[in-house]
Copies of this chain bind each other. A is one copy, B any other.
Amino acid sequence: MSKDRYFAAFAAFAGCNVVLAIAAGALCAFIAPAAAGSGIPEVKAYLNGIDSYSILAPSTLFVKIFGSILGVSAGFVVGKEGPMVHTGACIASILGQGGSRRYHLTWKWLRYFKNDRDRRDLITCGAAAGVAAAFRAPVGGVLFALEEAASWWRSALLWRTFFTTAVVAIVLRAFIEYCSTGNCGLFGQGGLIMYDVSSAQASYSGADILAVILLGVIGGILGSLYNFLIDKVLRIYSIINEWGAYFKILLVITISLLTSCCAFGLPWLAQCQACPTDSSVSCPTVGESGNYESFQCASGYYNDLASLFLNTNDDAIRNLFSTSTKKEFNISSLLIFFVAIYFLGIITYGIAIPSGLFIPVILAGACYGRLVGRLFESVSELDTGLYALLGAASFLGGTMRMTVSLCVILLELTNDLLLLPLVMLVLLVSKTVADSFNKGVYDQIVKLKGLPYMEAHAEPYMRQLVARDVVTGPIIMFSGIEKVGTILHALRTTGHNGFPVIDEPPFSESAELCGIVLRSHLLVLLKGKNFSRERVISGEEILQKYAAFDFAKPGSGKGIKLEDLDIDDEEMDLYIDLHPVTNASPYTVVETMSLAKAAILFRQLGLRHMCVVPKSQGRPPIVGILTRHDFMPEHILGLYPHIKPHKRF
């Protein structure tokens, strides 16, 4: 092989990668920008109650699936796990809406999920199914959905996610069984356990435990640094991405070329190593994947760095986890690969392709762990493959900050139950260390995207305020029997989704809070045009003119729009009875209620609107309505700039 051939090979390699990358980037940039990135932060935000149409739209699903395939094929340092979670959630969302009307994919029998909670449960199940399928880890999927994705836990939800992932496990198992006869190419290789390390001896001494704790501490620091750098890079990229779709694609091309250069250029730095004589697998590797890539080396030799770079990410992880192959990778090669993957992972996340974070973090962590294992090989008995596993655990703990779910996912990935105490120890140490620096990577991305995420706990400064303090603006309220024109004007001039309804004399003794009415229900009511000339209570009979289904929550982005209404001037002066569509049992707080307690009530019950009622008598029966946005730190600290929040990263 001459040097020219290598240049040609590089050109072919980089060229293929760039073409695939452009395809992925174009899909993302032109069809569904929301499909870029991992998708887990978006799913997490949706399950917190942030109902944004694009997050789970059919176009996002389409781009997520094909963009992810193209992106992974293009050799980027990205994973397919995050996108699979997003894909699962998208499919669940579309099923929950009864299919997609726009793409003429609707099913009658799928119309059961017409309220927020059931739809949220279904999407949680979808996310669980995504993890279960991605890692072939059904129990890990349940725990991921509960620990990271869902904001509200119920035992019913546990049961439903468990059901979902059990089905995933059985279907996966059936496919693997069918494919093990070679019917479907590479699919299903490795069985249910993707990186089996159970063959390694897991006996360890006190010195090993000290080494493992040190590994956890450094892993935690590197993990939180990863989060910090990703945050900075995302801020830079968001500026570039705002310039337009072509700049997005240009960025994708740049990163693709950089990745190709690293993958093809860096292996030249490694020296050829002699193949081990006792290896059971062929060396150098023949075919597509294996432990020993020959690259530029002569027969009987292999290039260890090429075995990591010029393989799929999955195979590279498998190589790093491989046990009883202590000397396979040189310390220098591991160091080069670690630095390259660590930074490639950081700069790749955020470009306009679907990109999961699990694989880059596991890859960098496994390399880091194996490196530590090589460094400690004189004092520690633990296999370097197991060190790689622990290193991956420390990185995952340091960036994602999950505990039980990561533990079970790693257990299901590697089938090494005896190593469980060490994995738990590493996760504990790395999460604790990393938590003292910054937040988990998904929380950070949610915050960066400006999504109004409700935290589970109230901020300490909220204890100094009461509910009344954060109510803003003049409140718009309706009478129990209201003029059509007034309602229409309010709908047109505000973006509020809930309006308080007040009963006034002669319909009650004094002004009383009747309840709260939703914008969507008002639109349905107005569309029906059941108006009357007089201010009379029409009662429940008005509801008989509607089907129950009319008031069901429509799919996100669907439902009646304000522009769909066609109300003429004459009708503007007519009256309509709002009682039948008013929720007469809204959750209320007294105006002097501590804001912290109000926030907990709002968050725990998963509310969208909360009424603030006056404490003393003789005043209008409602002080204001609180929504998610009123609890956001930006809003509160904007109103009360003198309050110093505790520094929370």
Interface residues of A (CB under 8 A from B): 138-139, 142-143, 147, 153-156, 158-159, 162-163, 165-166, 169-170, 172-173, 191-193, 198, 403-404, 407-408, 411-412, 415, 417-418, 420-421, 424-425, 427-428, 431, 456-457, 466, 508-510, 512-513, 584-585, 587-590, 592-594, 597, 600-601, 604-605, 613, 615-618
Q: CA separation between A427 and B597, bound complex, in Å?
A: 40
Find chain B residues with CB under 8 A from A618 CB. Answer: 510, 617
Q: CA separation between A415 and B601, bound complex, in Å?
A: 43
CB distance B592 to A138 under 8 Å? no
CB distance B605 to A600 under 8 Å? yes
CB distance B616 to A508 under 8 Å? yes
Find chain B residues with CB under 8 A from A411 CB. Answer: 139, 417
Contact of A428 (CB < 8 Å), options: B166, B417, B420, B589: B166
CB distance B420 to A139 under 8 Å? yes
Q: Which of A138, A139, A158, A411 has the most CB of B within 10 A?
A: A139
CB distance B421 to A142 under 8 Å? no
Contact of A417 (CB < 8 Å), options: B403, B415, B509: B415
CB distance B456 to A155 under 8 Å? yes
CB distance B407 to A139 under 8 Å? yes
Find chain B residues with CB under 8 A from A153 CB. Answer: 153
Find chain B residues with CB under 8 A from A456 CB. Answer: 154-156
Find chain B residues with CB under 8 A from A588 CB. Answer: 588-590
Q: CA separation between A138 and B367, bound complex, in Å?
A: 27
CB distance A139 to B408 under 8 Å? yes
This chain: how many copies in the complex? 2
Q: CA separation between A158 and B508, bound complex, in Å?
A: 49
A428 and chain B: residue at smallest CB distance: B166
What's the minimum C-beta distance from A175 to chain B, rounded to whole angstroms? 12
What's the minimum C-beta distance from A57 to chain B, rounded to whole angstroms? 29
What's the minimum C-beta distance from A250 to chain B, rounded to whole angstroms? 40
Q: CA separation between A592 and B586, bound complex, in Å?
A: 10
A604 and chain B: residue at smallest CB distance: B604
CB distance B165 to A417 under 8 Å? no
Find chain B residues with CB under 8 A from A600 CB. Answer: 605
CB distance B592 to A584 under 8 Å? yes
Q: CA separation between A173 and B156, bound complex, in Å?
A: 35
CB distance A592 to B585 under 8 Å? yes
Find chain B residues with CB under 8 A from A513 CB. Answer: 590, 615
CB distance A162 to B428 under 8 Å? yes
What's the minimum C-beta distance from A88 to chain B, rounded to whole angstroms? 17
Q: CA separation between A589 and B418, bound complex, in Å?
A: 52
Q: CA separation between A530 and B617, bound complex, in Å?
A: 33
Find chain B residues with CB under 8 A from A154 CB. Answer: 456
CB distance A587 to B601 under 8 Å? yes
Q: CA separation between A613 and B198, bound complex, in Å?
A: 62
Find chain B residues with CB under 8 A from A601 CB. Answer: 587, 601, 605
What's the minimum C-beta distance from A166 to chain B, rounded to whole angstroms? 4
Given A411-B139, A585-B593, A617-B617, is A169 in contact with B421 using a C-beta cutoff of 8 Å?
A: yes
CB distance B605 to A421 under 8 Å? no
Extra contacts, 11 of them, besides A162-B427, A408-B408 (Cβ < 8 A), are A139-B408, A147-B158, A154-B456, A156-B456, A162-B424, A163-B428, A173-B421, A415-B417, A508-B616, A585-B593, A590-B613
Find chain B residues with CB under 8 A from A427 CB. Answer: 162, 166
Contact of A510 (CB < 8 Å), options: B143, B585, B589, B617: B617
Q: CA separation between A143 and B139, bound complex, in Å?
A: 11
CB distance A403 to B597 under 8 Å? no
Q: CA separation between A618 and B617, bound complex, in Å?
A: 8
Q: CA separation between A162 and B407, bound complex, in Å?
A: 10
Contact of A421 (CB < 8 Å), options: B166, B466, B512: B166
What's the minimum C-beta distance from A380 to chain B, rounded to whole angstroms? 16
Q: CA separation between A457 and B590, bound complex, in Å?
A: 25
Find chain B residues with CB under 8 A from A597 CB. Answer: 585, 587
A163 and chain B: residue at smallest CB distance: B428
Can you list 22 pairs linking A and B with CB atoms under 8 Å apart?
Answer: A139-B411, A143-B143, A156-B456, A156-B457, A159-B403, A159-B431, A162-B427, A166-B421, A173-B421, A192-B417, A192-B420, A198-B198, A412-B417, A509-B616, A513-B590, A585-B593, A585-B597, A588-B589, A588-B590, A600-B605, A604-B605, A605-B605
What's the minimum C-beta distance from A141 to chain B, rounded to whole angstroms? 10
CB distance B510 to A616 under 8 Å? yes
What's the minimum C-beta distance from A460 to chain B, rounded to whole angstroms? 15
Q: CA separation between A143 and B601, bound complex, in Å?
A: 26
Find chain B residues with CB under 8 A from A604 CB. Answer: 604-605
CB distance A169 to B420 under 8 Å? yes
CB distance A166 to B425 under 8 Å? yes
CB distance A162 to B404 under 8 Å? yes
CB distance A158 to B510 under 8 Å? no
Q: CA separation between A142 and B428, bound complex, in Å?
A: 14
A611 and chain B: residue at smallest CB distance: B590
Find chain B residues with CB under 8 A from A613 CB. Answer: 590
A192 and chain B: residue at smallest CB distance: B418
CB distance B139 to A147 under 8 Å? no
CB distance B139 to A421 under 8 Å? no
Q: CA separation between A421 and B165, bound complex, in Å?
A: 9
Find chain B residues with CB under 8 A from A139 CB. Answer: 404, 407-408, 411, 420, 424
Q: Which of A155, A417, A512 has the most CB of B within 10 A?
A: A417
Find chain B residues with CB under 8 A from A172 CB. Answer: 421
Find chain B residues with CB under 8 A from A158 CB. Answer: 147, 403-404
Find chain B residues with CB under 8 A from A509 CB. Answer: 616
What's the minimum C-beta distance from A188 to chain B, rounded to whole angstroms? 14
Q: CA separation between A172 and B169, bound complex, in Å?
A: 31
CB distance A424 to B165 under 8 Å? yes
Q: CA separation between A589 and B585, bound complex, in Å?
A: 9
A509 and chain B: residue at smallest CB distance: B616
CB distance B587 to A594 under 8 Å? no
